[in-house]
Structure 1
Amino acid sequence: VTEVLGWPDTPGIDMLSIVHKHGLRDEFPEAVLAQAKAFGHKVTEKDIEGRDDWRDLPVITIDPHDAKDFDDAISVQKTQHGWHLAVHIADVSHYVKPGSALDKEARERGNSTYMADRVLPMIPRELSNHLCSLMPGVDRLTQCCLMKINQEGKIRSARFTRAVIHSGRRFTYEQVQDILMKPKEEIAKQFPDEDKTIIAMLHEAWRLASLLRKNRFQNGALDLDMPEVSVTLDEKGKPTGIEKSEYNESHQLIEEFMLFANEAAAKLLKNRSQTTIYRIHEDPDPDRLNAFAELARLHGYKPGDLTNKKHIQQLLDKAHGTLEEHAIKIGLLKSLKRAAYFQDPLGHYGLSKADYCHFTSPIRRYADLIVHRGLQKHLGNPPKKADRVPGPGEAAQIAQHISETERTSAEAENESRRLKMLQYLHMCSLEKDPPVFNTVITDVRHFGLFVEAIDIMTKGLVKTEDFPGHETDWRFEANLVQFSGPQGKKYKVGQQHNCIVANVDMERQMVDFKFAK
C-alpha cells in the first residue's frame, strides 16, 4: 500500500484512483496558486498598453454547454473580395512567464485532463476559468490571427497581433446549430433578443467554414471526426443517463477556423526560422494499412490503393451514415500513427498540411503556450520585452515530454469514461424492464459474437450459451466468419440485433449482452 485514498464506495474515489494510477497532478502547489491569485480578477489599463483595442468588434465564443475555459473567440466580416476572419486566442503568455512557478507546473502537466467527473486544469482556475477565459461582457487579453481570405477560400494574408477584446456573446454548439439549420421564423422566436447582425455573422461564418472544409478534403485531408458519447452524472458521480453529441456544422465551423489559424502560425514561425514546437502526424506503415484493408473487405467494401489518401477518403465517404461507419473509422485510426509534438515541421498526414502547430488552446495545452511565446517577436505590435523561447535542444525535450503527458491524459480520460459507462450498464442490467440497445455484430468467434451498441458506442459479447434455442443448435463456420443455426438462420458481421445487458464484470471491464426477446 502506497497511499490510502478512501473507501471504495466514497463518491469520486473511483475517479481519484484513476488520477493516482496515471500519476496525474490533482492539486497545485501553494506557490503556484499564490502567483495565479496575485493577478486579481480584472484586466488592468497597464495590461492593455500597446495592444490593439477591438472591444467594439462583434466577437463571439462557441463552446460546449458545460465549458468554463474559453480559449478562442471569432469574428467574421464579408468583404468585396472574400472575408476577413479574426481568430482571437486567450493570451496566457501575458500571465505565465518562462521559469515562473506557474510555468514550471504547466510544463510538468503538459495539458489539462478532462475526466468523466472533473477537470484537472493545466493552470489554476483563477486563470483557466476566469482571467484568461474569454467570457462575455468582460475585457480579455488575446493574441489574434487576422486573415484575409479570397472568394475561393485561399488565404491572401495573415498577421498576428496582441489585442484586448470584449466578447459580446457566449454561444453553445447546440444554439449555433439551431441558428444555422432552423428557418428564420423559428430562430426569431427562439432568440427574440438576439442581435440580427450576430445571427447574420454566424451564417456568413458557416459559408466561409464550409468552403474551407471542402478545400481541405479536396487537398487530401481525412474526415476522422466521430460523435462522442458521455455518461451524465449526479452530484455524487453516480451515472444518470447517456448523452451523445454529434459532430455537426457548429463544431465544424470552429474546427475549420482553428485549423486555419494553427496552420498560419506554423507557416509564420517556419518562415522566420523561429524555434517552436510543431504538431506532426507521420505517414502510416503500409503493413498497418493492409490490415485495415482486410477489415474493410470484411465489412463488404473494396478499399482500393490505400497508399493514396483519396482512396481512403472515398472509403470513408462510402461508409458514412452506415452501421459500419464507426468500425471503419476506428479501424483506420488504429492503422494510423499517433499525432505528436516535434521540434521540426514534419507535416500532418491526417490534415494534409505541410506545416502545422497548435496555437488555439493555450489555456489547456503547453505546446500552444510555447507557440505564443515564439510569435511574440513577430507580432504586428510586439511587447517591449519578448519572452524567452526554448532553443532547439530544449524544444525537443519539451515536445517529447508533452507528447507523453498527452498520451497519459488520454488514457486516464478514456478509462474514466469507460468506468462510468460500465457503471451505467451495470445499473441497466439490474432493471426489471432493462433498456434495449440496437447493436451491430463486429466480429464472430467460436465462443460468441462481438457486438457494438450503436447509440452508446460500447462493445460487448453475446456468448453462444445465450443464443436462441440450444447452444448445440449452432455451428461456427470459421471460413465464412459466421454461425449457422436452425432454419437457415445465420449470425455474421454487419447484422443488427436488439440486445439487453446481461452482465457487467467491473473487475475485468467486460460487458455481456444477450438478445432481447
Structure 2
Amino acid sequence: MSDTEQEERDDQAAAGTIEGQGPVEIDPELARHIENKREELFEKFSIPDGFPAEVLEEAKARTEEVGAEIEAEVDDREDLRELTTWTTDPVDAQDFDDAISVERRDGEYVLWVHIADVTHYVTPDTAMWESAVERANTVYLPAYTVHMLPPVLAETVCSLVPNEDRLAHTVEMHLDEEDLGYESIDIYKSVIRSDARLTYTEAERLLDEPDTAGDLLEDESVDLAEKTELVWELADRMHEQRKEEGSLVLNPKRDRAHTIIEECMLKANKAVTHELMWDRGVEAMYRVHPQPSPEEWDEALQEIQELDGVSIPGSAWDDPRKAVNATLEQAPERQLDSIQWAVMKVMPRAQYMNDPFGGHHALNFEIYGHFTSPIRRLSDLINHWIVHTNEVPEDLVALCDRASDRQKDAEQCEREYKQFLEEVGLDPAAVNNRGIEVVEE
C-alpha cells in the first residue's frame, strides 16, 4: 500500500455515518461471530483492544481543571481566539483534532492549520506515551475503532470543540497569491476557540447556501460563509496545482469539503517538514515513498489501457502519475476501482524514515512528513515533540520502523476483517458508513 493524498483523511476514518440512513441490523448470533473474529484478528496482529488502568488513570487526571490550565497558558502562547476558526469532520466524529482559519491579504493568502496540542498532555515521561509507542496508530475497522490514545483524553482536552478555549499547535503559512508558494512559515503553540463544528455535508451546503451559516453558529457575527468560500478557492487552486506538478490523485470525485481539509492538511504537513529539514536540518519521522520501476509503471499503464472503455491520453504517457490522473478523470465510473487497483499493485510501501531523502513519489513532494494527526499516528506525535523541543528521540530509527510495521499490520487487519464481513453477507462500506445495530429476532 502506498501513500496518496488520501492518507491525510483516509477514507476509513473520514467516511463517517451517512446522514439520514439507519444502521445495518444484525442478529445476536452474528454479532457474537463478528466479535469473536475481531478478537482473533487482534491476537493475530498483536493489537491491544483496551488500555491498562495506569494509562486510563493518567489520561483522566489530565482532563481535570482544564479551564484553569488553559488560562495559565495564554501568556506563553499566541492568542488566536479572535480568529475565525472551524473544524470539518464526519458526522459521527468523536474528537476534532484539526481546525483551520484563512485570510486574504494584499498579494497573499494566510492559512492557519491548528492541530490539537497533544504533546502538552502526552509527553515522553508518561504511561500514555509508552502506550502510544506500543500501538503506533489508531486502527479503523468498519464500525469499530482501536484508539492510539485514550478516548477520555482525545475526546475532551484534545478535541477542538466549538466555543471552548483549547491548546493548539498552529502552522501559520503565508502563501504567494500567484504561485501559492510559501512566503513564510511559522509554527507555534497557541490558544484557539473554534467558532463552528461542521460536518462534511454541512460544509458542502454552506458553499451552496451561504445564508445557512447562522444555523451553525453561536455567534452570528462570525463570517463563516465568506471564510468557507475563500478556503475553497484556495484549496481548489492547491489541488489543481498539485495535479499539474505530477501529484498522483487516485480519487478524482472527491467533494469540495473533503478537498478543503485534504489540501490544507497536506500544505501544513509539507510546511512542517520543510521547517524541520531545510531550516533546522534535524532528524524527524519523515514519510518516504519510493517510486515503482519503469517496468512496473509500464505494466500498470498497459493493464489500464486494456480496460473496456478506458484510454490513456497519448500526451500523458511520459509521466505515469499524470497519465493516471488524466485517465481517471475521463474513464467510466465502473472502471475507477480497476484503474486504482492497477496502480496500487505496483506501488511500493511508503515508510517512515529518519531522513527524507528519496522523497514522496505519489505526492511528488521532495520531502514530506506527518504532523496533522497526533491523536491517531505515532509519527505525528513524535514530530510535534521534535518541532516544539528540537529534541530528537535517541531511538528514532526504531520508532520509524515500529510505526511502519504497525501501520502494515493495521492495514492487513482491516483487509481481513472486511473480507470476513463480506463472507458473512455484510457490506463493509455500509457497516462503516452506517454502523451496526443488534436486533433481537
TM-score (norm 1): 0.71
Q: Does 1:221 align with 2:247?
A: yes
- Which has the larger share of strand? 1
Task: State the partner residue of 2:197.
Answer: 170
Q: Does 1:294 align with 2:305?
A: no
Task: State the partner residue of 1:327.
Answer: 338
Amino acid at match of 1:389: V
Task: State the partner residue of 2:9.
Answer: none
Task: State the partner residue of 1:231.
Answer: none
The 3 A distance-change label for structure 1 pair 125 and 334 is same
Distance 1:356 1:284 in 2: 18
Answer whether contact 2:210 2:225 (CA < 8 A) is retained. Answer: no
Q: When the two structures are aligned, how many residues end up with a matched partner?
A: 391
Q: Does 1:142 align with 2:154?
A: no
Answer whether contact 2:213 2:225 (CA < 8 A) is retained. Answer: no
Task: State the partner residue of 1:16.
Answer: 39
1:263 to 270, 277, 296: 270
For the residue of structure 2 that corresponds to 1:142, the secondary structure is strand
2:130 to 97, 104, 120: 104
Answer whether contact 1:296 1:303 (CA < 8 A) is retained. Answer: no
Q: Which whole-Å deviations, capped at 9, do the CAs of 1:264-309 have from their partners, x for residues lacking one? A: 1001100211121101111112232222123113214347646543
The 3 A distance-change label for structure 1 pair 425 and 54 is closer
- Give 1:397-416 correspondences, 5 Å limit: 397-416=398-417
Amino acid at match of 1:314: A
Distance 2:162 2:213 in 1: 22
For the residue of structure 2 that corresponds to 1:25, the secondary structure is coil
- Give 1:433-448 correspondences, 5 Å limit: none
CA RMSD of aligned residues (A): 2.6
Answer whether contact 2:360 2:367 (CA < 8 A) is retained. Answer: yes
The 3 A distance-change label for structure 1 pair 57 and 219 is same
Q: Which whole-Å deviations, capped at 9, do the CAs of 1:32-61 have from their partners, x for residues lacking one? A: 112111213424133444111112211100
Task: State the partner residue of 1:370.
Answer: 382
Between the aligned residues of both structures, percent identity stands at 31
- Give 1:361-510 correspondences, 5 Å limit: 361-376=373-388, 386=389, 388-391=391-394, 394-425=395-426
Following superposition, the deviation at residue 422 of structure 1 comes to 4.1
Q: Which whole-Å deviations, capped at 9, do the CAs of 1:198-253 have from their partners, x for residues lacking one? A: 01100001001111111111111011137xxxxxxxxxxxxxxxxxxx73110010
Q: Which whole-Å deviations, capped at 9, do the CAs of 1:103-132 have from their partners, x for residues lacking one? A: 111011001111222211111112111111
Q: Which whole-Å deviations, capped at 9, do the CAs of 1:173-221 have from their partners, x for residues lacking one? A: 11111222x2456x47976986561011000010011111111111110
Amino acid at match of 1:423: V
TM-score (norm 2): 0.82
Distance 1:147 1:8 in 2: 50
Q: Which whole-Å deviations, capped at 9, do the CAs of 1:135-169 have from their partners, x for residues lacking one? A: 11222111100011121222211100100111111
Following superposition, the deviation at residue 425 of structure 1 comes to 4.6
Task: State the partner residue of 1:31.
Answer: 54
Task: State the partner residue of 1:156.
Answer: 183
Distance 1:248 1:90 in 2: 25
Q: Does 1:353 align with 2:365?
A: yes
Answer whether contact 1:285 1:336 (CA < 8 A) is retained. Answer: no
For the residue of structure 1 that corresponds to 2:167, the secondary structure is strand
Q: Does 1:210 align with 2:236?
A: yes
Answer whether contact 2:286 2:368 (CA < 8 A) is retained. Answer: yes
Distance 1:7 1:332 in 2: 39
Answer whether contact 2:290 2:350 (CA < 8 A) is retained. Answer: yes
Following superposition, the deviation at residue 133 of structure 1 comes to 1.3
The 3 A distance-change label for structure 1 pair 7 and 249 is closer
For the residue of structure 1 that corresponds to 2:424, the secondary structure is helix
Amino acid at match of 1:264: A
Distance 2:75 2:169 in 1: 14
Distance 1:166 1:410 in 2: 35
Answer whether contact 1:306 1:312 (CA < 8 A) is retained. Answer: no
Amino acid at match of 1:81: G
Which structure has more relative contact order (CA 8 Å, sep 6+)? It is: 2
Answer whether contact 1:110 1:122 (CA < 8 A) is retained. Answer: yes
Amino acid at match of 1:155: Y
Q: Which has the larger radius of gyration?
A: 1
Task: State the partner residue of 2:8.
Answer: none
Answer whether contact 1:15 1:117 (CA < 8 A) is retained. Answer: no
The 3 A distance-change label for structure 1 pair 196 and 166 is closer
Q: Which whole-Å deviations, capped at 9, do the CAs of 1:399-438 have from their partners, x for residues lacking one? A: 1110011111112223333433443459xxxxxxxxxxxx
Tell which deviates more after alignment, 363-372 or 279-288: 279-288
Answer whether contact 2:112 2:171 (CA < 8 A) is retained. Answer: yes
Distance 2:193 2:163 in 1: 6
Following superposition, the deviation at residue 29 of structure 1 comes to 1.2
